[in-house]
Amino acid sequence: MIVVMRADATPKEVELVASKIRELGYQARPIHGVERTVVCVLGQVYPELMDELLVLDGVETVLRVSKPYKLASREVHPMDTVIRVGDLRIGGGHIVVMAGQCSVDTVDYTLATARAVKRAGAHVLRGGAFKPRTSPHSFEGHGKKGLEILAQAKAETGLPIITEVLDPRDVEIVAEVADILQIGSRNGQNFALLKEVGRTDKPILLKRGMWATMEEWLLAAEHIMSQGNHKVILCERGIRTFETNTRFTFDVNAIPWVKRESHLPVIADPSHGTGRWYLVEPVALAAVAAGADGLLIEVHVSPDHALSDGAQSLTPENFTRLMERLRVLAEALGRPLHPEVAQTSARGNGQIS
Amino acid sequence: MIVVMRADATPKEVELVASKIRELGYQARPIHGVERTVVCVLGQVYPELMDELLVLDGVETVLRVSKPYKLASREVHPMDTVIRVGDLRIGGGHIVVMAGQCSVDTVDYTLATARAVKRAGAHVLRGGAFKPRTSPHSFEGHGKKGLEILAQAKAETGLPIITEVLDPRDVEIVAEVADILQIGSRNGQNFALLKEVGRTDKPILLKRGMWATMEEWLLAAEHIMSQGNHKVILCERGIRTFETNTRFTFDVNAIPWVKRESHLPVIADPSHGTGRWYLVEPVALAAVAAGADGLLIEVHVSPDHALSDGAQSLTPENFTRLMERLRVLAEALGRPLHPEVAQTSARGNGQIS
Amino acid sequence: MIVVMRADATPKEVELVASKIRELGYQARPIHGVERTVVCVLGQVYPELMDELLVLDGVETVLRVSKPYKLASREVHPMDTVIRVGDLRIGGGHIVVMAGQCSVDTVDYTLATARAVKRAGAHVLRGGAFKPRTSPHSFEGHGKKGLEILAQAKAETGLPIITEVLDPRDVEIVAEVADILQIGSRNGQNFALLKEVGRTDKPILLKRGMWATMEEWLLAAEHIMSQGNHKVILCERGIRTFETNTRFTFDVNAIPWVKRESHLPVIADPSHGTGRWYLVEPVALAAVAAGADGLLIEVHVSPDHALSDGAQSLTPENFTRLMERLRVLAEALGRPLHPEVAQTSARGNGQIS
Amino acid sequence: MIVVMRADATPKEVELVASKIRELGYQARPIHGVERTVVCVLGQVYPELMDELLVLDGVETVLRVSKPYKLASREVHPMDTVIRVGDLRIGGGHIVVMAGQCSVDTVDYTLATARAVKRAGAHVLRGGAFKPRTSPHSFEGHGKKGLEILAQAKAETGLPIITEVLDPRDVEIVAEVADILQIGSRNGQNFALLKEVGRTDKPILLKRGMWATMEEWLLAAEHIMSQGNHKVILCERGIRTFETNTRFTFDVNAIPWVKRESHLPVIADPSHGTGRWYLVEPVALAAVAAGADGLLIEVHVSPDHALSDGAQSLTPENFTRLMERLRVLAEALGRPLHPEVAQTSARGNGQIS
């Protein structure tokens, strides 16, 4: 940490800052520049120190030098993390596709969608049993009944299941059905929930909070990992900006930045990241070209009957077309689509390989 | 709701949109303009309808006409809601001040701060026992022990207590000590938590999510109110923008906008809204001039020993100065400071008067 | 400037960074921390140096210690700048109000509005002859004819005139009529225009770019001042954020922050900062409570006939009410409304007193 | 346009709104819904009408149905525009690459960079003679001397030149050397400059304002086109968001959205869009996968000696690697790299084919 003094700070103020630093057990190294003095803090600092130094007299600002995340950082863990779900390897150099309905609605639609995405080559079935809804007057998911429908789809298709958990009290029952637990964007800094899923041994797909800097997103991963679960899959899904012609702004820069800073696999959600079905394919291809390890895509056999987010769902026809174009692109990039996997559901929890 | 057709939509596409609307039980009224046709939907619509119509062929966009919130809306409930906490009336035309430490740390500091804010004229004591922290390596609050310290401060000073709850499983124990439950910004769309506090009979101070539009903020209030608890106090605390010289951008526009749209009282938090102690006083005065019903302010007897957010905490001296300036300003605005109240702690839960 | 090395930087990379710094004529002072090394650069650096150091091998990031602005900075010029326009003193402890039409339309409306704002106590008449319009199909102002109408209004009421200039080629003719030249938000980083007005001796009201950080705004002032014209009045007018229920987000934090960093006077424009006439009064009062030296307000005798921005214009009745409330508030804050001034138009250009 | 009345609007207020609409020469069609009445306006409306209706009593809001842009709109002009610069066709199904230095510095560096980008397969040479600089204390380009250096590079390599123009007074001299005129992001709503370049017959590369919605960007194109010059190339270069780990947020959604709304070609600038050289390659590939017609890339033979933006410049080695990867990707997407073109400089101005 580096304490930048005000241009008019007195020698006495500088000395008091240095004393405070030493009192806390660090070394203080003042450097007198042309315009102002800075005091370097040497030692393994803690985040709160910044605030404690900021309030001292004569201090202009405090600059951070170390990264706030450790477990999620590539500096600490240089090799890519690969997460196994049965025979599926997420982050291992192949592109993985997770697809399905935003909300689990009827058995018929869910099974039809599951078959359709499997046929097109998807590796994981997504579907929401518990749904976060902006309005309390909206459909909030079928809850436990939704989980049963997902279990049925898994039994029939053999696809592993990813589904969202909203409440720390539901983690256990959701984990009974899900192969991957999803943390939604609105819970991107819900620390009670992050800790709870950090105590399971399931892979966690962590969506970026729509307001979260990339550092805060990695710190949210750190919350999960600090509880012992290192099987975190990051998911970029768009951020809030002033642009309103799309629902969110998909932050494509985030993909290579996070891959460089962290060893965790990164997945892209172009359905939420755009909010418009006709933008899903180009942004999905872009995300993979930028280095994403996979995609999370909304598909519904009948988007105009979807109980949520129909406007951003692909039909099976459009999804099949996307998969075809993706296959060619992924091949050209040297990171081909993950091969189809046999029944994965019996393999137990995810593992880091 | 109004469906705007593409300029090149065919009469057949318009007809199919109208059929779909009628099939769902609404009236459809097409209007043929110079450039394009719009189809008005008549009836009490639900939010999902927008998505269901957006995916139909030939549709350009769907515009919403009704407001998505009802219980929180002034259209439905024209008179100001006044929330009583003992003899204190929040939203009744007087300015109410809630002040204290960001985090409850030691008994000594907490009691000293409580006495100081009471002496300066604060009406409610704030203090965090459970703290949301961006980094898992930061201090996360004393939990239950923190609640006991708050109870002790309440017993000694007679000030009612406001404190944050983070986890739906903690609502019960926090509600035993707290007179007002606080929902933090990061939980501004944590629907599991919103519903849980909506099932208590305590007043809820609902901070705006740092990414939430004003509509989404009112919908979060609606989530609480939909469970039966109408004692919601809104709190503007700054939003995320591109500006980095302050920690957040305090959205002063939000105060008169929300007061106009909703009957709920509105409180301002200039400590988080600026993140800099030297900006707290001017922004606090601004918020009250803009129509806020009160303030939530961080005060610590020793900011350089605060376990969180020291950089935005006022010393008792600065807080006293703020209260003096506030008194004069509030008087001039015709909305004076709320009179001091006697022991309020024995009065049971908040009430709407 | 401080160069932060990567955690895995080699001693050789550190040495090359230090050499490069010395080669450029600065001192380099490496500090070896627990996790990484930083190299402090001592000397009067230039902004480009940052980029030149960032690309060297082993460099993680470069932190800036000095402020990028000098002439606009309070560190260099601690006393408040007061700008005189005839007998009017902007920034001298009194609140100054500039009011009038967004666009100059007809002679009748302009004169009627001028009389109305003078009667209510405004000190300066605003009016746009040249208008920046998002769409080329919108009314773009009357140009020279508009300037003549403004001259007529000035002759009749004695109010000094503030009006916008858009094109460096128009500076001369606009300066013949205007007492204060306005740079609009969309030209907040139009450096050709900033330099051109910097070569006049008129006071310049510089609106903040709707995308500009406060530092960039002060740097835009620096562009003007670097040409010799130090009579810059800063004007906060709202920034672009994700919030869409108001047209912009008025950044009230900016007022005390900029007053602390800079010696220049600061004016608030709540008309553009909100975009809704019913929010203008509360936000105007808030801006003054936060420390603004004055206000810029849109008023039109007949808002539904205004050729631009009618939705944010006050009627003379509403403006008169605002002035009455402002008078009481300003008095209470100890920074009363500026007294009415006699004919100011004959006094020549603005001066710094 | 659709006028939405307040829920408590009186029949008289509705009638007055309808009268006002009719008085202006439009048809008014009121629709009485369950909660509120809306009044549809039929006819070819102008943008200001919105504001004129918004201020009427009883009006809640006014919704726009028509698109504000016409000349740039695909509704009006369904076929893709292809812009010819000599034998080069921009927007014709091949990927075009423009590369070179941010600022023209020395003759030696500029020529060396020009040769390097030509060798790697670039089609156009970029280079800034006039530079917009945030700080007046930064290098602002060599101006006319820079143009001469560019002319020399063009003579030697045969590459057409793209360079920025900042001041309407410089358009003529810049157009003597440039084959494509560039409007920078900070001038994205500098209407005086947009109009001036709209009066030339050169192709214009229009960067998106870092604050501009996609609609506003198309309206800026409309400003140029309204003067008769339809040869506009749109360039996405990143927008301002809360994310600070990258310099801007490259808005990849914008590429397919704008391609769908407009017939104009779209180019991506990943150098400014990320601000970090190590993110340029992945984001460049992403932009092309999303549908961009080409790229604008900063390259410098010696980034640590670049007079601006060194941190985002590629070395010739990195640029060559990017071109190789791009060639494979573009081929796979069915939109291959544009073939090399012979001397283009003698062909005169750009044409629309």
Question: Looking at residue C52, what is its pLDDT?
Answer: 84
Q: At residue B164, what are phi and psi to the nearest 5 degrees?
A: -85, 145
B50 interfacial to chain D (CB closer than 8 Å): no
Using pLDDT thresholds of 50, 70 and 90, give the confidence band for residue B139. confident
Best C137, C245, C252 member to test B by mutation, with max B CBs in 10 Å, is C252
**Closest D-chain CA to C59:** D311
Question: Looking at residue A68, what is its pLDDT?
Answer: 87
Q: Quick check: C192 and D167 CB within 8 A?
A: yes
How many Å lie between the alpha carbon of C246 and the closest alpha carbon of chain B? 8
Cα separation, D288 vs B208, in Å, equals 38
Q: Are C263 and C82 in contact (CB under 8 A)?
A: no
Position B228 pLDDT exceeds 50: yes
Q: What is the pLDDT of residues B195-222, one digit of tens each?
A: 999 999 999 999 999 999 999 999 999 9
pLDDT tens digits for chain A (353 residues)? 999 999 899 999 999 999 999 998 899 999 998 888 999 998 888 777 888 898 899 999 999 888 889 999 998 899 999 999 999 999 999 999 999 998 898 899 999 999 999 999 999 999 999 988 778 877 777 889 999 999 999 999 999 999 999 999 999 999 999 999 999 999 999 999 999 999 999 999 999 999 999 999 999 999 999 999 999 999 999 999 999 999 999 999 999 999 999 999 999 999 999 999 999 999 999 999 999 999 999 999 988 777 777 788 999 999 999 999 999 999 999 999 999 886 554 445 667 86
Question: Looking at residue B346, what is its pLDDT?
Answer: 46
The helix/strand/coil state of D319 is helix
Q: Which of D36, D18, D35 is nearest to D26 (CA)?
A: D18
Q: Which helix (H) or strand (E) holds B100?
A: strand B96-103
- Going through A25-123 in order, the beta strands assigned E by DSSP cover 27-32, 37-42, 59-63, 83-85, 88-90, 96-103
A-chain residues within 8 Å CB-CB of C75?
6-8
Using pLDDT thresholds of 50, 70 and 90, give the confidence band for residue B137. confident
Question: Looking at residue A141, what is its pLDDT?
Answer: 77
Q: What is the pLDDT of residues B35-70, one digit of tens each?
A: 889 999 988 887 778 888 988 999 999 998 888 899
* The three-state (H, E, C) secondary structure of C185-233, written as one string: HHHCCCHHHHHHHHCCCCCEEEECCCCCCHHHHHHHHHHHHCCCCCCEE
Number of CB pairs, chain A paired with chain C, less than 8 A apart? 62
Smallest Cβ–Cβ distance between B287 and the set C244, C250, C286 belongs to C286
Q: What is the pLDDT of residues D255-310, one digit of tens each?
A: 999 999 999 999 999 999 999 999 999 999 999 999 999 999 999 998 877 777 77
Position C55 pLDDT exceeds 90: no
Cα separation, C175 vs C342, in Å, equals 21
**A183 strand-pairing partners:** A206
Which carries the bigger pLDDT value, residue D128 or residue B281? B281
CA A285 to chain centre: 18
Q: Which helix (H) or strand (E) holds D59?
A: strand D59-63
HSE (side-chain half, CA atoms, 13 Å) at C18: 14
Q: Quick check: A242 and D328 CB within 8 A?
A: no
Which carries the bigger pLDDT value, residue C206 or residue B106? C206
Cα separation, B316 vs C50, in Å, equals 41
What residues 280-309 of chain D have any CB closer than 8 A to a CB of chain C?
303-309
C35 interfacial to chain A (CB closer than 8 Å): yes
Question: Looking at residue C65, what is its pLDDT?
Answer: 86
DSSP A89-101: EETSSSBEEEEEE
Question: Looking at residue C348, what is its pLDDT?
Answer: 54
The ipTM of this complex is 0.94
Position D346 pLDDT exceeds 70: no
Position C135 pLDDT exceeds 90: no
**Closest B-chain CA to A183:** B190
What residues 66-85 of chain B have any CB closer than 8 A to a CB of chain D?
66, 75
Best B13, B130, B211 member to test A by mutation, with max A CBs in 10 Å, is B211
Average of per-residue pLDDT values in chain C: 92
Q: Which residues, at least 6 apart from B81, have a Cβ–Cβ distance to it below 8 Å?
A: B91, B230, B263, B264, B265, B352
Cα separation, D188 vs D185, in Å, equals 5
Q: Quick check: A136 and B47 CB within 8 A?
A: no
C-chain residues within 8 Å CB-CB of B290?
282-283, 285-286
**Which domains are delineated in chain D?**
2-63 (3.30.70.1140), 83-352 (3.20.20.70)
C138 interfacial to chain B (CB closer than 8 Å): no
B48 interfacial to chain D (CB closer than 8 Å): no
Cα separation, D201 vs D227, in Å, equals 10
Q: Are B292 and B264 in contact (CB under 8 A)?
A: no
Q: What is the pLDDT of residues C326-349, one digit of tens each?
A: 999 999 999 999 998 865 544 456
The packing angle between helices B316-333 and C316-333, to 10°, is 140
Q: Which ranges in chain B belong to alpha helices (H)?
A: 11-23, 49-54, 107-120, 144-157, 171-177, 191-198, 214-225, 254-261, 270-274, 277-289, 316-333
C340 interfacial to chain D (CB closer than 8 Å): no
Q: What is the pLDDT of residues D118-173, one digit of tens each?
A: 999 999 999 999 988 778 877 777 889 999 999 999 999 999 999 999 999 999 99
Between β-strands B2-5 and B59-63, what pairing exists: parallel, antiparallel or unpaired? Answer: antiparallel
HSE (side-chain half, CA atoms, 13 Å) at D300: 27
Give the chains touching C; criterion: ≥3 Cβ pairs < 8 Å.
A, B, D
- How confident is the model over C245-269, as a mean pLDDT? 97
A138 interfacial to chain B (CB closer than 8 Å): yes
Best C211, C216, C232 member to test D by mutation, with max D CBs in 10 Å, is C211
Between β-strands C294-298 and C266-268, what pairing exists: parallel, antiparallel or unpaired? Answer: parallel
Q: What angle do CA C272, C273, C275 make, to 5 degrees?
A: 55
Cα separation, C193 vs C229, in Å, equals 13
**Closest C-chain CA to A27:** C33
Residues in chain C: 353
**C206 strand-pairing partners:** C183, C234
The helix/strand/coil state of A240 is coil
Question: Looking at residue C351, what is its pLDDT?
Answer: 76
Structure-token pair, residue D8: 């408590």
Q: Are C205 and C267 in contact (CB under 8 A)?
A: yes
**B323 strand-pairing partners:** none
Q: Quick check: D48 and C168 CB within 8 A?
A: no
Position C67 pLDDT exceeds 90: no
CB neighbours of residue A353 within 10 Å? 10
Q: What is the pLDDT of residues C284-305, one digit of tens each?
A: 999 999 999 999 999 999 887 7
Cα separation, C3 vs D353, in Å, equals 51
Q: Are A30 and A39 in contact (CB under 8 A)?
A: yes
Position D347 pLDDT exceeds 80: no
Q: Quick check: A63 and C2 CB within 8 A?
A: yes
Q: Quick check: C169 and D166 CB within 8 A?
A: no
Cα separation, B62 vs B20, in Å, equals 14
Residue A11 burial (10 A CB sphere; 0-12, 13-18, 19+): exposed
Q: Which of B64, B67, B91 is nearest to B261 (CA)?
A: B67
D63 interfacial to chain A (CB closer than 8 Å): no
Question: Looking at residue C143, what is its pLDDT?
Answer: 86
* Distances from the Cα of A134 to the Cα of B68, B221, B329, angstroms: 10, 11, 38
Q: Quick check: D286 and A252 CB within 8 A?
A: yes
Cα separation, D200 vs D165, in Å, equals 13
Reduced DSSP (H G I as helix, E B as strand, rest coil) percent helix, strand, coil of chain B, to 5: 40, 20, 40
B63 interfacial to chain C (CB closer than 8 Å): no
Q: Which residues, at least 6 apart from D348, have a Cβ–Cβ distance to it below 8 Å?
A: none
Using pLDDT thresholds of 50, 70 and 90, give the confidence band for residue C229. very high
Between β-strands D59-63 and D232-236, what pairing exists: parallel, antiparallel or unpaired? Answer: unpaired
B-chain residues within 8 Å CB-CB of C256?
278-279, 282-283
